[in-house]
Every structure is written in structure tokens, then in C-alpha cells.
Amino acid sequence: MNVRRHGPIAGALAALWLAAGAVAGPPVPAATVQADAPRDDFTALLGLLAARRHGRVSFTEVHEMAMLERPLRSAGELLYEAPDRLEKRTLEPRRESLILEHGVLTAQRGRRTHVLRLRDYPQVVPFVESIRATLAGDRAALEHYFHVQFSGDLGHWTLELVPVDATVAHTVRDIRISGAREVIHSVEIRQSDGDRSLLTIGAEVPP
């Protein structure tokens, strides 16, 4: 399989799983983080992200692609239910949905529906599973698939993920995630061909 040809799939899946940490419910009390002290901030961050279970927030996204004269902009909502269901509802400029659940990605636009099973994309699966490891707090799995660089502290942090696997790196150059404690503020995915997407997380959406 040509992974570069399926770069948008990898990007979409990465955005979904990484955004999950931003759409989860109420913050975890600080005492929970400090209970097993001393721990470094990266380990504490993984614990905070793993503890969040559900939620609904707004988002805006910008895609910069060499083949387009101007960036593509969209906005909508992200919904998450632990452990593995995440829905991305795009409301502008046109309505469409992207749902990842039980290893199946369902994309719907208008009357058209496309279903992709992750098992059919073996080169993409390790990439997606390593993203899930972030939310699960599984540091060993995360560092198995990525060169991980954490900077800042729990109050204001940045996480840079560079794929270890050459096949994945052929499509995705790196991922930069920024946030404060358990709240993810933005997810930037830079592809090896120069294309780039930036997902910015907004406010919680009332039920």
C-alpha cells in the first residue's frame, strides 16, 4: 500500500485521536496528579489525559496544501466517549461527519458514506495506535512508535512526536500538540510533502 497516497487518512485519524484529550469531561483534581509524586511532568500529563472520559467541544481547522491556492478552513464539533469512540462533525463550510469506533472509520458527506477498517491499512494502524497510547497514558507504547520531545510544564506544554517508522515518516513529518494540563489547545500535523493542518480546540459545547 502506498502510504503517502493515504496521507489524508493518517492525518484525519491522528486529529481525531489527539483531539480526544481535548473533548473529555471535567478536569482531574490536582491532588490526583500529585498522589504518586515525585513524577515528571510528561508522566503526569499522560495520566491527566488518560483520566478524561467524555465531552463535546467546538473546533476550527485549517489545511494548507501545495495543490491549493488558498487554505481550506472548516469548523464544527468534536464528541468523545471513552474508550474508543470519537466523532468529528464538520458544520462549515459544508456538513460532514467522521466517526472512529472499534477500529472502523466511517465518513459521511451528504448521501455518500465511506467505511474504512483500520486492519486494511497496516502501515497506518501503528501510527493511530501510538496516538491512542497518548490518551491511555502508555508511555512505553508512545515512545516505541515516536521520538517524543516534551517541553514546558503542566501549566503550558508542547509535545512533539516524530515517527520512528520510515514508512509512517514518509507521510507524516511530525505532530505538535500544545495545551495546559489536561486540555489540548491545538494539534498541528506536518506532512513530509509540505502540507500542513492545524486543529484548534475551542470552548465546550452545552448538551
User: 16-59 pLDDT, tens per residue?
Assistant: 655 555 555 444 444 344 434 335 898 888 888 878 777 788 99
pLDDT computed for residue 21 by the predictor: 53
Q: Are 172 and 7 in contact (CB under 8 A)?
A: yes
Question: Running along the chain, 207 residues long, what does each successive block of 10 average in pLDDT?
Answer: 46 58 49 45 86 82 91 90 80 91 85 85 64 69 85 91 84 87 86 89 81
pLDDT computed for residue 130 by the predictor: 59
Q: Tell me how far apart the alpha carbons of residues 73 and 82 are, in angstroms, rounded to a whole number.
A: 28
pLDDT computed for residue 124 by the predictor: 66
Q: Are 159 and 148 in contact (CB under 8 A)?
A: yes
Sorted by where each starts, the structural domains of the chain and their CATH numbers stand as: 4-204 (2.50.20.10)
User: 97-111 pLDDT, tens per residue?
Assistant: 988 888 888 888 888
Q: Tell me how far apart the alpha carbons of residues 21 and 179 are, in angstroms, rounded to a whole number.
A: 10
pLDDT computed for residue 138 by the predictor: 76
- Tell me the pTM: 0.78
